[in-house]
């Protein structure tokens, strides 16, 4: 699992902080409020009970018989219960309660004055117990706290809601602030990836924030310097190209004239002439390949077009002189790309097979599913030569790497850039090129390029 | 075959070497050092093809190309050391029939010249191909639209005939390049793209919305009956 992004970490921290703070506040408010309200209620209940107990005490003292009426007539809350316990007798008044369900200490006749909270019959009540000295009895008053508890419940709900809301608010605020604070960063990312993608004109907008202005200025200055340098390089590459191509034209044509008149130059001079003319050809090819590979970075291609790879391969194979290799086609994958480059890929692979392995023995165009389920157009060029040792397989796509042939250049070893150009062109099509062993001996050069559905 | 070639090239060594090599290939080569010299030589008739360097002192290659094209349809092959797409396209838009990049070998150039000067072989005598509002007569090399002659260069005409002769079938780019420019070469379809554009400008009523020469994306072109 990837770590949370900075934005979310900020949001969570802010949300959590806000939650913590408001819960602490809510806790304090809860404790103070409920404590105060409960105390108030208790005090008033106790005061009331004391008055009532004194009345009962006086009534018993004076031996009056209207005790029941007295109990009924006492001032209590609407749902309160009054119990008068005397040895061997329990008098109740008010809301009905099951006396046996009351815990013993409450009914302890000899007890001292006390107060407490109980749950009786599913209702939370305040119990006030007062001794009646004249009758060795106890006056018990049960005051239900339904009203109070309802208020507490409401308060509780309000506080919890408040805490949750503030937590969510903090989360939202954190997310917003994070995005706001990171916006210049995402602008920077966009600009940087445009530059990485080759668009050197990408710049950051002017920043008014002093914290960001410096970053923007530095970034823009770097991008401008890079652009200047790339332009300069391109101009230089163009100049080099022109300056090299002109004398080469003279050389290859003069060499052709000499080659045609080879018979007129006998002996040692003739052999030297052979060397010269063949080397001039190789040199010309090398320079052309080198110019192509080095100018490749800044060339603006034609817009990519859908290409039928099988048709392209057939065309290249059929255009080559000499015995043609059969092209095995099991699918007709379409790729999005540049014809010139793909032609070059195919012909360079065929050239390579010809130079080092006596020619291609099989050319195949297939289509296969990639790891992500996307289609891959696959080109295979097989030869029946000596193959490429495993430890050289990566290297042979490097520039001027002649693999096992290093040091033993024959008459026609090519420019040493053919496979490097293959790798470069294929990479430009977001594909991959490699070499593997061919079943039955020889080498198999494989090119895979993503298919297009368009 | 003894074609007469005008070689316009400011680099003396190239001029000499290419002149010698083309001479070996059987061409009669005349040199011109600059655009002015070339235009002066060309005012007199007698050349079969012009090999034109784009970078010339004074009147540059593009200018020579445009001037020549305005005055006739003498085949022009651009010989350039610049391989940038923009330069090649500018040359072709200016009216060149083909282009080669340095370093070029005389034998390759010779093959291209011969292909360019080859007579068109498509079509029988007296046949008139009617496509849209065009009347194409391959035997005499003329195109008329509503009775008015449309002037095409010989390369443009061969391209049009190839498309028209396919009678509604798709002609691939490779086939067109092979049949019109006459040799197997691949990859660079700029040559064809620009020629199609030039042809459309001349034969289509609205070149931006072609109805005669239709692009079949990914494969080639088609010209309906």
Domain layout of chain B by residue ranges: 4-117, 129-223
Taking CA atoms, A263 is separated from A29, A254, A258, A270, B25, in Å, by: 113, 16, 9, 8, 17
- Predicted pLDDT of residue B220: 85
- Cβ of B20 within 8 Å of Cβ of A250? The answer is no
Find the CB nearest B82 among A242, A340, A343. Answer: A242
Task: Find, in chain B, the residue whose alpha carbon is nearest to that of A299.
Answer: B84
Provide, as residue numbers in chain B, all residues whose Cβ is less than 8 Å from the Cβ of A251.
Answer: 17, 103
Write the ipTM.
Answer: 0.86
Alpha carbons B124 and A70: distance in angstroms, whole number:
137
CB A435 within 8 A of CB A353: no
What per-residue confidence (pLDDT) applies to A272?
Answer: 93
- The β-bridge relationship of strands B98-101 and B76-80 is parallel
Strand partners, B3: none
Question: B119 falls in which pLDDT band (50, 70, 90)?
Answer: low
A244: closest CA among B33, B52, B106, B102? B102
pLDDT digits (tens, 9 = 90+) for B155-166: 899 899 889 888
Contact A306 B218 (CB under 8 A): yes
pLDDT value of position B20: 94
- Chain A CA closest to residue B184: A319
HSE value, Cβ hemisphere, 13 Å, CA-based, for A156: 7
Of B11, B104, B174, the CB nearest to A315: B174
Which residues lie across from B128 on neighbouring strands? Answer: none
- Architecture per CATH, B129-223: Orthogonal Bundle (1.10)
Instruction: Enumerate residues 281 to 340 of chain A having a beta carbon within 8 A of any beta carbon in chain B.
Output: 284, 287-288, 291, 295, 299-302, 305-308, 311, 315-316, 318-319, 334, 339-340
What is the DSSP pairing of strand A327-329 with strand B49-53? unpaired
Q: Which of B18, B106, B187 sits opposite A343 (nearest CB)?
A: B187
Report d(CA B19, CA B51) in Å as an integer.
11
What residue of B is the nearest CA neighbor of A315? B174
> Which residue(s) pair with B144 in the sheet?
B135, B149
CB contact under 8 Å between A257 and B188, yes or no, is: no
Q: Is a pLDDT exceeding 60 seen at residue B123?
A: no
Q: Please report, for residues A143, B51, B95, B160, the alpha-carbon distance to residue B75 in angstroms, rounded to integers and kept in the order given.
A: 118, 9, 9, 17
Q: Which residues of B touch A302 (CB under 8 A)?
A: 85, 189-190, 193
Out of A247, A256, A316, the one facing B105 most closely (by C-beta) is A256
pTM for this prediction? 0.64
Residue B86 has pLDDT above 70, yes or no: yes
**Residue B120 per-residue DSSP state:** P
**Inter-chain CB proximity A316 and B186 less than 8 Å:** yes
Please give, rounded to a whole number of angstroms, the shortest distance from the CA of A273 to a CA of chain B.
16
Q: What is the DSSP code (8-state) at residue B54? A: S
Which residue stretches of A62-129 are H helix?
67-73, 104-107
Contact A305 B218 (CB under 8 A): yes
Nearest-by-CA chain B residue for A296: B84
CB contact under 8 A, A287 and B103: yes
| pLDDT one digit per residue (tens) for chain A, 454 residues | 456 788 888 889 999 999 999 999 999 999 999 999 989 988 988 888 888 888 888 877 776 667 777 777 777 777 788 888 777 777 787 777 777 767 766 666 556 677 777 777 777 888 888 887 777 778 888 888 888 888 999 999 999 999 999 999 999 998 898 888 888 778 888 888 888 877 788 888 877 778 788 888 888 899 999 989 988 887 887 788 778 899 999 999 999 999 999 999 889 999 999 999 988 988 888 888 888 777 665 555 667 888 889 988 988 888 887 777 888 998 888 898 888 888 889 999 998 898 888 888 999 999 988 777 788 999 999 998 888 888 888 888 888 776 555 444 455 567 788 898 899 889 888 899 999 988 888 899 999 999 887 5
Phi-psi group of B140: left, alpha or beta (phi > 0 → left; psi -120 to 50 → alpha; rest → beta):
alpha
CB contact under 8 A, B82 and A252: no
A311-344 burial: b if 16+ Cβ within 10 Å, else e: bbbbbbbebbeeeebebebeeebbbbbbbbbbbb
Q: Which helix (H) or strand (E) holds B127?
A: none
Q: Which of A126, A133, A112, A109 is nearest to A56 (CA)?
A: A133
Q: What is the pLDDT of residue A408?
A: 46
Which residues, in sequence order, are CB contacts of A206 under 8 Å at separation 6+?
A213, A216
Q: What is residue A409's predicted lDDT score, i.e. its pLDDT?
A: 47
Q: Measured between alpha carbons, how far apart are the two ends of chain A, in Å?
A: 35
What pLDDT sits at residue B125? 58
**B24 in reach of chain A (CB within 8 A):** yes
- CATH hierarchy code of domain B4-117: 3.40.50.2300
Question: Per-residue pLDDT tens for B91-105?
Answer: 889 999 998 888 888
- Kindly provide the residue ranges of all beta strands, DSSP E only, lying in B76-219, ordered along the sequence: 76-80, 98-101, 129-131, 134-137, 142-145, 148-150, 170-172, 213-216
CA distance B51 to B77: 5
Contacts of A257 in chain B (CB under 8 A): 17, 20-21, 24
Q: How far apart are CA A258 and CA B179, in angstroms?
A: 33
Per-residue pLDDT for B122 more than 80? no
CA distance, residue B21 to nearest chain A CA (Å): 5
- Chain A residues touching B174 at Cβ < 8 A: 311, 315
Average pLDDT of the residues of chain B? 85
């Amino acid at each position: 699992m990837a770590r949370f992004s900075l934005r979310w970490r900020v949001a969570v921290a802010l949300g959590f902080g806000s939650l913590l703070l408001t819960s602490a506040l809510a806790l304090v408010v809860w404790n103070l409020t409920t404590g105060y309200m409960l105390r108030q209620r208790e005090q008033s209940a106790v005061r009331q009970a004391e008055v009532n107990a004194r009345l009962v005490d006086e009534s018993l003292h004076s031996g009056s018989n209207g005790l029941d009426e007295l109990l009924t007539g006492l001032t209590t809350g609407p749902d309160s219960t009054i119990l008068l316990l005397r040895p061997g007798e329990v008098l109740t008044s008010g809301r009905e309660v099951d006396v046996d369900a009351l815990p013993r200490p409450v009914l302890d006749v000899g007890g001292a004055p006390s107060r407490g909270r109980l749950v009786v019959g599913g209702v939370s009540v305040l119990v006030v117990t007062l001794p009646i000295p004249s009758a060795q009895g106890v006056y018990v008053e049960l005051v239900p706290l339904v009203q109070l508890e309802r208020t507490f419940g409401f308060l509780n709900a309000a506080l919890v809601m408040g805490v949750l809301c503030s937590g969510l608010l903090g989360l939202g605020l954190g997310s917003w602030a994070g995005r706001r604070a990171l916006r210049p960063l995402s602008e920077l990312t966009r600009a940087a990836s445009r530059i990485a993608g080759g668009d050197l004109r990408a710049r950051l907008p002017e920043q008014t924030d002093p914290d960001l202005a410096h970053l923007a200025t530095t970034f823009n200055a770097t991008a401008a310097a890079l652009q200047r340098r790339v332009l300069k390089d391109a101009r230089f590459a163009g100049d080099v190209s022109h300056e090299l191509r002109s004398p080469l034209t003279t050389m290859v044509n003069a060499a052709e004239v000499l080659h045609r008149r080879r018979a007129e130059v006998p002996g040692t001079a003739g052999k030297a002439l052979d060397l010269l003319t063949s080397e001039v050809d190789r040199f010309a090819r090398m320079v052309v390949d080198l110019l192509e590979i080095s100018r490749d970075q800044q060339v603006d291609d034609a817009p990519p077009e859908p290409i039928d790879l099988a048709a392209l391969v057939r065309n290249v194979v059929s255009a080559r002189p000499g015995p043609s290799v059969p092209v095995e086609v099991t699918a007709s994958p379409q790729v999005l790309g540049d014809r010139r480059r793909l032609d070059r890929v195919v012909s360079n692979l065929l050239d390579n097979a010809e130079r080092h392995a006596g020619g291609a023995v099989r050319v195949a165009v297939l289509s296969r599913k990639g790891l992500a389920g996307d289609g891959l157009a696959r080109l295979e060029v097989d030869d029946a030569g000596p193959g490429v040792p495993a430890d050289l397989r990566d290297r042979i796509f490097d520039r001027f790497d002649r693999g096992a042939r290093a040091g033993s250049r024959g008459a026609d070893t090519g420019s040493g850039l053919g496979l490097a150009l293959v790798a470069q062109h294929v990479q430009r099509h977001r594909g991959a090129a490699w070499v593997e062993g061919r079943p039955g001996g020889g080498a198999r050069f494989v090119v895979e390029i993503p298919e297009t559905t368009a | 075959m003894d074609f007469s070639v005008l070689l316009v090239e400011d680099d003396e060594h190239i001029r000499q070497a290419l002149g010698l090599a083309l001479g070996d290939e059987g061409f009669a080569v005349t040199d011109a050092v600059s655009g002015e010299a070339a235009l002066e030589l060309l005012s007199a008739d007698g050349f079969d093809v012009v090999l034109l360097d784009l970078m010339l002192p004074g009147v540059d290659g593009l200018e020579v190309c445009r001037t020549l094209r305005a005055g006739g349809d003498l085949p022009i092959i651009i010989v350039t050391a610049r391989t940038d797409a923009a330069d090649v396209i500018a040359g072709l838009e200016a009216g060149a029939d083909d282009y080669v990049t340095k370093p070029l070998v005389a034998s390759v150039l010779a093959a291209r010249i011969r292909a360019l000067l080859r007579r068109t072989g498509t079509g029988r005598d007296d046949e008139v191909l009617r496509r849209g509002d065009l009347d194409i007569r391959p035997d005499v090399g003329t195109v008329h639209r509503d009775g008015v002659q449309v002037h095409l260069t010989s390369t443009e005409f061969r391209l049009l005939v190839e498309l028209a002769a396919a009678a509604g079938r798709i002609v691939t780019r490779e086939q067109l390049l092979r049949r019109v420019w006459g040799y197997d070469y691949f990859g660079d379809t700029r040559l064809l793209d620009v020629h199609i554009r030039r042809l459309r400008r001349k034969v289509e009523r609205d070149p931006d919305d072609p109805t005669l020469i239709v692009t079949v994306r990914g494969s080639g072109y088609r010209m309906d009956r």
